[in-house]
Amino acid sequence: MTHPDDLEFEDDREHPETGRPWRRSAGIFVLAELGGVAGERIAEIQRRYDPKLAASSTPHVTLVGSSGAGPIAPSTSVEQLAAHLEPIAATTAPMSLALEPAMRFMQTEIVVLPLSPYGPLRSLHERILTSGLQFARPRFAFSPHATLSFYPTLTPATRRALLAVRVREPALVDRLTCYFTNDPQPRVKLLELPLRGAR
């Protein structure tokens, strides 16, 4: 796995370790979009508490681009993405994943539903990391989650309501989706690959 030095994390949120702002640079993210009743419930919560987040993305878990691995190099072509990721998707079975109780992410104002960093989701993450693609350096260990609220500054009442959220239905993952991201521009979908492995 290669970590090019010119791919740095930048985001106008405070970095949880240093307290200094960071901004994401351009790069390619690999998402596992969440389906089923759980995905619908998360989308409903996002629309209520963070309409900007709800309008910009569907409920998902970031497999590559945040924790565990930085974004894929932006110079990577769609053909290269497909060549490296299609064999992984073809041999990975769809997943039904439990969502843990809501929590604040790294003591920020971001509220998320964590998923276990082990098991089939971890295996998928690591297969992508060892696929031969180039990644930026991550800032922290793999910590998969579905985001409920990202943009707003939370009031005490809103924070309590979000942290009380429990989604008991399993989240369904049946595809990989690659997006080119260059904040603040809208993300662009590059590739979608169904998970076709045997259950």
Domain-wise residue ranges, the chain:
13-99+114-143+166-194
Predicted pLDDT at 131: 96
Residues 52-74: tens digit of each pLDDT = 999 999 999 999 998 899 999 99
| Spatial separation of the C-alpha atoms in residues 197 and 186, rounded to whole Å | 32
- Is CATH 3.90.1140.10 the right assignment for the domain spanning 13-99+114-143+166-194? yes
| Spatial separation of the C-alpha atoms in residues 70 and 27, rounded to whole Å | 8
Residues 85-105: tens digit of each pLDDT = 999 999 999 999 999 999 998
Question: Residue 100: CB partners within 8 Å, gap ≥ 6?
Answer: 113, 114, 115, 116
Predicted pLDDT at 122: 95
